[in-house]
Amino acid sequence: MQGRSEEAMSERKKLALIVHSGTMDRLYCAFILGSTATAMGMEVHVYFTFWGLAALVKGGFEKAGLPATYKHMEAQMKKKLAEMKYPSLVEMLRRMKTSGLLKIYACSPSMEMFGIKREDLIPEVDQIAGATAFLDVASDAQVTLLV
């Protein structure tokens, strides 16, 4: 997908997304919004924190399931998604990265709290950052969401 078209970076609309959740349903919500935004030519900045950061490790998205309250529905939901030929979380991440319009930030204190090192994270992470850096990015965003 062509990311950097004739539209200057400064003219692009921007989506700032905080991913606090690490369950499959909420990660899907975030990635559907993010991958649609990149398809629309928006810059997408995603800050993974708490459970979202815990899922940002290698293999994390593949293992994401439903929260305890809905755990009994997980197998059926995964089966239905496969029947729908629905893109996986990993595929949606690939789409966003291929666009050239995605930046991923990993929350530094969450990394420390969970004992996660940089090398444990997926290689697509652009930056380890704190709240200030993210708020600076989000200050210029037209759309800011927390999932």
Partner 1 sequence: MKVKPDRTLDCLGLFCPEPVYRTRLELDIMRVGDILEVTADDPAAEMDIQSLVKRLGQEVISVTKKGNKVVFLIRKVK
Where along the sequence are the contacts to partner 1 (CB under 8 A)? 1-2, 6, 13, 32, 35-36, 39-42, 84-87, 95
Q: Which amino acid is at 76?
A: Q
Strands 127-129 and 102-107: parallel
Sign of CA dihedral 63, 69, 71, 77: negative
Which is closer to partner 1, CB of 1 or CB of 135?
1
Name which of 104, 111, 112, 113 is nearest 133 in CA terms: 104
Q: Six-digit token pair at 24?
A: 């499959």
Q: Which is nearer to partner 1, 58 or 79 (CB)?
A: 79
Q: How far is the CB of 32 from partner 1 (least distance, A)?
A: 5
SS3 assignment, position 19: strand
Closest by CA position to 13, among listed 51, 40, 52, 47: 40
Tell me the closest approach of the beta carbon of residue 41 to partner 1, in angstroms. Answer: 6
Residue number, 26 or 95, with CB nearest to partner 1:
95
* Distance in Å, CB of 111 to partner 1, minimum: 30
Residue 120 Cβ, how far from partner 1 at the closest point, in Å? 29
Q: Which is nearer to partner 1, 3 or 65 (CB)?
A: 3
Question: CB atoms < 10 A from the CB of 2, how many?
Answer: 9
